[in-house]
Chains A and B, each alone.
Chain A
Amino acid sequence: MSEPVLEIRDLRKSFGALKATDGVSLELRPGQIHALIGPNGAGKSTLIHQIAGSLKADSGSIRFLGEDISGLDMAARARLGLARSFQISSLAQEFSALRNVMLAVQARQGSSFRFFRQVTSDRDLTEPAMAMLERVDLAARAHVPAAELSHGERRQLEIAIALALSPKAFLFDEPMAGMGPEGSKRLTSFLDGLRHEAPMLLVEHDMDAVFALADRISVLVYGRIIATGTVDEIRSDPDVRRAYLGEAA
């Protein structure tokens, strides 16, 4: 098997006495969707935050494309090709959907220290951004401020922004949250096609989506990974059934 794109070794993070991340090791390989599941409060989002750089781990290493990124801040990690979406949509609220994506296109193209050319007439920004909105079916809403988009549309916009970064890996934190069955189904098939652009670490509560998408699943409980394996291995793992899946599986 090829080298992992993202490799986490013995990551630890405590908040006081609470061990939110307790010796987590994880690998994300090319072409894979690796799902991270677990009950509420298991530390899934905390883990995503540490990988993305918005939280600093207490110890352990995070290697991305063979490089140790533990010391880098969020922006530097994003520039290396780590694109994330947020559990709760995090957008520039006053900007239109298009300008939110344009910001990502601008970041990917390099320096933001350009002071004269107007962005709204800069086709190097508008055209790639519009193309991303079309991919997520949001082109018709391109000029609506992010604050006025519906919940589902904001989730789509988050994905469009991540796509616009042409990343080397996706970190998606509950992209389906609050989407409704129809939207979830569409997003599932969309994410399915993304694995060939870049591998994806996917935190998700929607088990139908997880079982349909994941090449590998890791189960996080109280900050520890209690099992990692294929969909079938996880579904039949007795510990996992007891800790998390219950009768749903």
Chain B
Amino acid sequence: MSRETTVNLLLALLLLGAPLVAAGMGEPFYVTLATRVVVLALAAVGLNLALGSGGLLSFGHAAFFGLGGYVAGILATHAFNGEPLFAGIPATTSMPLIWIAAVAVAGLIALPIGAISLRTSGVYFIMITLAFAQMIYYFAISWPAYGGEDGLSMSVRNAFPGVNTAKPLPYFLICYAALMAALLLFRVVEGSRFGSALQAARQNGIRLAAVGIAPFNIRLVAFAASAMITGFAGALYADLNRFVGPSMLSWHMSGELIVLIILGGKGRLFGPVAGAMIFVVFEYVLGGITERWQFFLGLILLGIVLFARGGLLGLLSGKPRHV
């Protein structure tokens, strides 16, 4: 077992064990905090596929996170009011159905956004993904039917068959299982032919084209898949907070997801997990001491970018190897 695998396993166990202990000690707040880590990590796993594997610095992934959240919020609101969604399609409070809808919407919106954005690269790609996300953000703000600037509150958490989702621990376990499934998928895809082509597109797009694989197609599929995972996380996040608002769509959120990945280790399987753990712990611990906790997070980020490009996982487990 490589050192990185050991570190990954320990992180996974820590993330599972801590809320179990907290629940046992009757501290549901910490379970919810851990759920926040898990959901943010899942969103960042999605971005990591585009950014880490594919080298696509999307500054607009909040769009997909927020879309996933709004799908959950809108479906739940309609279902609660007993109204059909539109054209007689019934709304639902079933999480599995909501997830499918969130993933589908994120993917469908990501395809045209990706198809246009991927014609550019570098700074232009960053700016155009940001622009698309801001368009969706302002659309959400100006659409009063679903709360506009105030967002949408959900009076109860959506339902999962056989699980009492209102309790923090069962909901944590659902999110944890989703994260582990996404990590497994990420791992498998990265080692596949598609993953090879995607990583080659990041390292050297010309080389990839020279052997006959068009980098654009590979990147577009990766971008959409990445958006779908982040959209899934958005639906879970809405249910976690029983609220969805435009802040989920804002560029702060996009930046936060990037920061998570840089903190944890770009392109590494558990980078998003490590990043989300640091981020949420900082937000909670330092946030309790000073309102200016983000200043200190900034310092840490600066240190990592200057001295530890591999992020926390790089520090713990050394250089990655491609065999």
A interface residues, Cβ below 8 angstroms from B: 52, 54, 73-76, 78-79, 83-84, 86, 90-96, 99-100, 102-104, 106-108, 111-120, 122, 125, 143, 145, 161, 164-165
Contact = CB atoms under 8 A, between A and B. Distances in A.
Contact of B210 (A78, A94, A95, A106): A78
B203 A94 contact: yes
B192 A117 contact: yes
B212 A107 contact: yes
Contact of B221 (A100, A106, A113, A118): A113
A149 to B, nearest CB: 14
20 contacts: A52-B210, A83-B210, A84-B210, A90-B206, A90-B207, A92-B200, A92-B204, A94-B203, A94-B322, A99-B323, A106-B196, A112-B196, A112-B218, A114-B194, A116-B188, A116-B189, A116-B192, A118-B191, A120-B323, A143-B323
A107 B193 CA distance: 9
Contacts of A108: 211-212
Q: How many residues of B sit at the interface, in one of the four size bands? A: 20 to 34
B14 to A, nearest CB: 27
Contact of A112 (B194, B206, B210, B322): B194
Given A92-B204, A96-B323, A79 B192 contact: no
Contacts of A86: 206, 210
A95 B192 CA distance: 14
Contacts of A117: 192-193
B273 interface: no
Interface in B144-166: none
Interface string B51-85: 00000000000000000000000000000000000
A106 B197 contact: yes
A54 B323 contact: no
A117 B193 CA distance: 7
B214 interface: yes
A73 B323 CA distance: 30
Contact of A78 (B209, B322, B323): B209
Interface in B31-59: none
Nearest to A106: B193
A120 B195 CA distance: 12
Contacts of A114: 192-194
B221 A92 contact: no
Given A75-B212, A90-B207, A96-B322, A112 B197 contact: yes
B180 interface: no
